[in-house]
Copies of this chain bind each other. A is one copy, B any other.
């Protein structure tokens, strides 16, 4: 079983020294005689040599490795952001170590330790729980860190994510314009995830100025219960005006949109007549007749910014004030928020 070739073997094969070979692969070929360059190139090719990143990293103290902690890898939004992160890493010659935590705080800690042991040079965190202590320890060691989407109060780090204020302004404006007057905001439990809290808060704050009435429902995970809640919202008599005022559902993210759509179908509700709008664009939103209105996040840009922030923080060793990078969502209006007249 032939092992990988080492730099020494290449040197021998090329009739040169380690140093020259090392220089050759470090991109300092201009400091080598053309003849030597050729010999090294030939030898490396013959032996299929590739510098050992482990040894390289050990020596240089840098692994060229970026770690990404994802709360739920099966969430299309996370994957889309990851795609952006990956592209940005590639452009920087960095490799990406991805860890999925399935929303398990325990796993989160384990994976954090794992990535740290691989000497990652930066960490992109989409945390489910709050491994504050662990993260603080890592930042304390000077490890650049970027929070994705979800904020962690105790951790001093850049945050990149959606402009939730803008998102809810956009959503409420759109729903109001379309003539919906009573809203039900659907969300997963907002306790631990900051975007959920922010969105909920801005939902409630934005109602009054638009003369909307609204309330919020927190999903427990049971489809049936959600269905009941929606039904109650839709069937009770109007609040503000007499008669039936147009009503709409606003979903805090893609997972909620999915659940809500399922529930509405079971209830036999006609979309549009009852409004439906969601944050996060998914590839099936256009397919549910007459199309579900969404706010699309610029996932690619978010991912790229995460890496950019990481890099910025790793050059300036001085602890800079954490920055926030908030991205604007894009409204994709479809039939589910068009009152059939």
Binding site for B on A (CB under 8 A): 1-4, 48, 50-55, 57-58, 61, 63, 65, 73-74, 76, 79-80, 82-83, 86, 90, 95-100, 107, 110, 113-119, 137, 140-142, 258, 261-262, 265, 282-284, 286-289, 317
A-B contacts, 25 listed (Cβ < 8 Å): A2-B140, A50-B116, A52-B117, A53-B119, A54-B57, A54-B63, A55-B58, A58-B58, A73-B82, A76-B76, A79-B79, A83-B100, A95-B114, A95-B118, A96-B97, A96-B98, A96-B99, A97-B97, A97-B98, A258-B284, A258-B287, A265-B287, A265-B289, A284-B284, A284-B288
From B52, B73, B118, B288, contact of A79 by CB (8 A)? B73
Residues of B within 8 A of A48 (CB): 137, 141
Q: Are A97 and B95 in contact (CB under 8 A)?
A: yes
Residues of B within 8 A of A63 (CB): 54
- For the complex, what is the distance from the CA of A107 to the CA of B79, rounded to whole Å? 19
Copies per complex of this chain: 2
Residues of B within 8 A of A74 (CB): 76, 79-80, 83
- For the complex, what is the distance from the CA of A118 to the CA of B55, rounded to whole Å? 9
With A52-B119, A53-B119, A142-B1 as known contacts, state yes or no: A86 contacts B100, CB within 8 Å: yes
Residues of B within 8 A of A52 (CB): 58, 117, 119
Q: Are A1 and B53 in contact (CB under 8 A)?
A: no
- For the complex, what is the distance from the CA of A303 to the CA of B140, rounded to whole Å? 36
- For the complex, what is the distance from the CA of A137 to the CA of B83, rounded to whole Å? 28
- For the complex, what is the distance from the CA of A261 to the CA of B285, rounded to whole Å? 12
- For the complex, what is the distance from the CA of A141 to the CA of B52, rounded to whole Å? 14
- For the complex, what is the distance from the CA of A321 to the CA of B86, rounded to whole Å? 35
Q: Are B54 and A119 in contact (CB under 8 A)?
A: yes
Q: Are B73 and A2 in contact (CB under 8 A)?
A: no
Q: A3-B142, A54-B63 provided; 16 other pairs, C-beta below 8 A?
A: A4-B116, A4-B119, A4-B141, A48-B141, A51-B117, A53-B119, A54-B54, A54-B57, A58-B58, A65-B118, A86-B99, A95-B118, A261-B287, A262-B286, A262-B287, A284-B284
Q: Are B286 and A287 in contact (CB under 8 A)?
A: no
Q: Are A317 and B1 in contact (CB under 8 A)?
A: yes
